[in-house]
Structure 1
């Protein structure tokens, strides 16, 4: 079984839901992350609701206890190693769900370097296919569906475009679990930039409350 993330139309930018774009929710006073390479503010990509074990909610009525927020540098696309889980040009955070407030985006010349041009709602859809690749192919073959409206998967096994890059948790040393695999988005004018037709991978370690992010193309 694979849980697909499908496009469900526009979403409120500060909604406490799994979404791409909008404003990140974080504890009051949380600093907007900056790239260690260029020192510019990062772009907010996505928010994922997780349970108390840091597993993604799949629309089955589970209670959200954690929020994952994912960022990457887009100050000068291609110049910083935003694809790397350890390069310092992307960032991911796990926050307890209670008491979160919308972060204030930094003032920059080009607002789309810190915020995506659209906020997209996510509808989880269960597929009987065991792998994301097979579930993807089955979903896009259905009549009337646009490939860009498939936003990724929640949990499951990564469908790597290149070699397996599952990160190890710096706290316990174990391999992290996939929280979500993300596609670039439904509209090229507001898409996330994973190198053009790439995919991104958000990982968590539930026991250590650790997280990591990377992408491939």
Structure 2
């Protein structure tokens, strides 16, 4: 498994390579190629980003013959090789458009080359124009890790989704309405909020929130000996504010951190967690997929409809032992019901 993260989710991506890299992989296409064409950086990206660039304003003027040969080569590389690829980076760079009537797919590329640019200067130009650069070797890597930042875990519920969606610690929390752990829970602006309480009467401790397609699912757990008294509060509003408990020492954790999602190739969560090359405690769990039960399957049923609930997330205790969530050394499991808009949280150890 590759350990390189290819994706910057805030930028579109572009495949960049020299012809020497293509020839090394697939063999020579043309024998009569001028040095200026051979040395030029070639690039391919999705047609939807045509207006965004990249634009190469300082290209070297070349002959009509060189221009014709260069574009002939890049069209052939796209049609016979890159356009037929099935690697993870293909779906990251290119948008696959479905045609329901014909049951067919369409991908539209923009491709070309930049005579007069070195690879370094071409990459610098692309980055300045807000593109993420994917190298030739990265593009063909079947096991590359693709990093994503999903707005909602509902985006992961798709037949096309492959791999295990690991939750990885992010040091900062930049949005009140995103997945995060510790800190303060949220509520509808100017709407009363009743802090969940344990059966013993004390306020439950706020653990964190997961953003899903039905809202922010906020997890509260016992901070006493009344084990298993967990509650999940779902907030759907986009107009949010923080809410404070009556007793901070009991109801709040001494930690706050965000989370990002990294899709890793693997058969199950345990395998993905073993292989992902970072400090183990920075892996916060997984989103969607299937739970990796420590004991027997305990998928809860919805109180509203009586059906088994949807698996949302499996959580580890956290990156810092002293401020970790108390799962008894095990894992927490979040489930919800999109129909009833209810959620439950259980632990196993």
Same fold by TM-score greater than 0.5? yes
In the alignment, structure 1 residue 193 sits paired with structure 2 residue 193: no
Number of equivalences: 185
How many Å apart are 1:43 and its aligned residue? 0.3
Higher strand content, 1 or 2: 1
Which 4+ residue blocks in structure 1 deviate beyond 6 angstroms?
Answer: none
The correspondence for 2:297, drawn from 137, 161, 164, is 164
CA gap of 1:15–1:98, structure 2 versus 1, over 3 A, is closer
- TM-score of the pair, normalised by structure 2: 0.51
SS at match of 1:189: helix
How many Å apart are 1:2 and its aligned residue? 1.1
How many Å apart are 1:50 and its aligned residue? 1.1
Higher relative contact order (CA 8 A, sep 6+): 1
Runs of 5+ unmatched residues, structure 1:
55-65, 83-88
In the alignment, structure 1 residue 80 sits paired with structure 2 residue 226: yes
The correspondence for 2:309, drawn from 168, 176, 191, is 176
Higher helix content, 1 or 2: 2
Task: Indicate if the aligned counterparts of 2:176 and 2:240 stay in contact, CA closer than 8 A.
Answer: no
How many Å apart are 1:99 and its aligned residue? 2.4
Query: 1:212 and 1:147 mapped to 2: Cα distance?
Result: 26
SS at match of 2:322: coil
1:134 aligns to what? Answer: 271
Task: Indicate if the aligned counterparts of 1:10 and 1:118 stay in contact, CA closer than 8 A.
Answer: no
How many Å apart are 1:210 and its aligned residue? 1.2
The correspondence for 1:101, drawn from 231, 241, 248, is 241
The correspondence for 2:178, drawn from 3, 10, 17, is 17
Task: Indicate if the aligned counterparts of 2:177 and 2:238 stay in contact, CA closer than 8 A.
Answer: no
Query: 2:172 and 2:326 mapped to 1: Cα distance?
Result: 19
Query: 1:117 and 1:156 mapped to 2: Cα distance?
Result: 30
Query: 1:152 and 1:97 mapped to 2: Cα distance?
Result: 26
1:216 aligns to what? Answer: 348
Query: 1:114 and 1:10 mapped to 2: Cα distance?
Result: 21
